[in-house]
Homo-oligomer: A and B are copies of this chain.
Amino acid sequence: MSDMNVTIYDIAKKCHVSIATVSRVLNGNSRVSEKTRRIVLDAIKDMGYTPNPFARGLGLDSMKIVGVLCTSLTDAFFARAVSLIEDGMRQHHFDIMLSCTGPNTGHNSPYITGLVNKHVDGLITVGTVFSSEPDIAALTAAAGKIPVLTINCDYHQPGIYSIVCNEAEGMRRLVHTLARQHCRHIAYLYDVRTYSGRHKLQGLRQGLKELGIKENPALIQQVSLNLEGAEKAIENLVSRNVPFDAIVTSEDILAVGAQRAALENGRYVPVIGWNNSILATCATPTLSSIDNRLDSLCASAVQSMTQLLSGQDQPVPVRTEFSAILVERESFQTKKE
């Protein structure tokens, strides 16, 4: 009922027991007589007592918080990831401390150390948050103290658990699928050379190679991550008379722009985006997209993290891999006017 920071001592005094007993009923590990347990429990409810988390943290060296690092929540993909992680960890009674680094400048180690210095219980990174040597070193150092777990990035560092989607393989298969539709001149628009970006490109080249198709550098373009970037790139191809019979992009947003530009120029080719986000369904025609299994990645991350933090050292896989899948929509079929 009352307020003003009631402590375990207040409860103890009111119940005529020691703080040890109160602590015992709270943490329920040791035996307490049913009678005193009831008394204490009632007093706790009466006085509105809640344990001070700092004092608790000081003793246990844990406040049941895991840090989540990503570049930006403005990207729907990362936002969804954080949302899934937050929800999952919460079900295991962990809170989330969020840290968005902004564009990966190569000087993001302060974000790591910031969280580590706050003594979070674990760290989950989403996407390519770190790429420079010192940043990765900082992450490795963090892994020496607490569980560190990365989603969609593979640092190959000791102690860092990685959970990835095999996007290279997804791209390779996509290239083969397109080839069966007689598409051999695939335009590929990508935004930036992240871990994920590198692998997509690698998969593309692998696929082309297997099919005996010579890579045309003009078809592979790095563009800025917005509609205009993709539009310009496609218009550029058209104006330069570079032939293309399919478009693949590293992000759905680029597919939206690319498809728009292609249609405006009378090019009715399949367009395939990436991430299978809401944008893919918002475009007209609706866009096919590669689903990189974010839900599975996050669920796996949550499970691994909780196991690592559970104390009981059940074995946790150092690397977990999922397969990308193609989600076909209207934009997949070759269109005629």
The residues of A with any CB-CB pair to B shorter than 8 Å are 3, 50, 52-55, 57-58, 61, 63, 65, 68, 72-74, 76, 79-80, 82-83, 86-87, 90, 95-100, 102, 114, 117-119, 144, 227, 253, 256, 260, 278-279, 281-284
| Listed A/B pairs (20) with beta-carbon separation below 8 Å | A50-B117, A52-B58, A52-B119, A53-B117, A53-B119, A54-B63, A68-B98, A72-B83, A73-B79, A76-B79, A82-B98, A86-B100, A87-B102, A96-B97, A227-B281, A253-B282, A279-B282, A282-B282, A282-B283, A284-B284
- Indicate which residue in B54, B61, B98, B227 contacts A119 across the interface (CB closer than 8 Å): B54
Report chain B residues within 8 Å CB of A144.
3
Report chain B residues within 8 Å CB of A281.
227
With A73-B80, A82-B98 known, 20 other A-B pairs at CB within 8 A are A50-B117, A52-B58, A53-B57, A54-B61, A54-B63, A54-B119, A58-B58, A63-B118, A73-B83, A74-B80, A86-B98, A90-B100, A95-B99, A98-B98, A227-B282, A253-B282, A256-B282, A279-B282, A282-B282, A282-B283
Smallest Cβ-Cβ distance to A81: which chain B residue: B73
Report chain B residues within 8 Å CB of A284.
260, 283-284
Whole-angstrom distance from the CB of A298 to the nearest CB of chain B? 12
Report chain B residues within 8 Å CB of A73.
73, 79-80, 82-83, 86
Report chain B residues within 8 Å CB of A76.
76, 79
Whole-angstrom distance from the CB of A70 to the nearest CB of chain B? 10
Report chain B residues within 8 Å CB of A86.
73, 98-100
Smallest Cβ-Cβ distance to A256: which chain B residue: B282
CA distance A283 to B79 in the complex (A): 21
Report chain B residues within 8 Å CB of A117.
50, 53
Contact A98 to B100, CB < 8 A, known contacts A58-B58, A283-B282: no
CA distance A283 to B86 in the complex (A): 30
Report chain B residues within 8 Å CB of A87.
100, 102
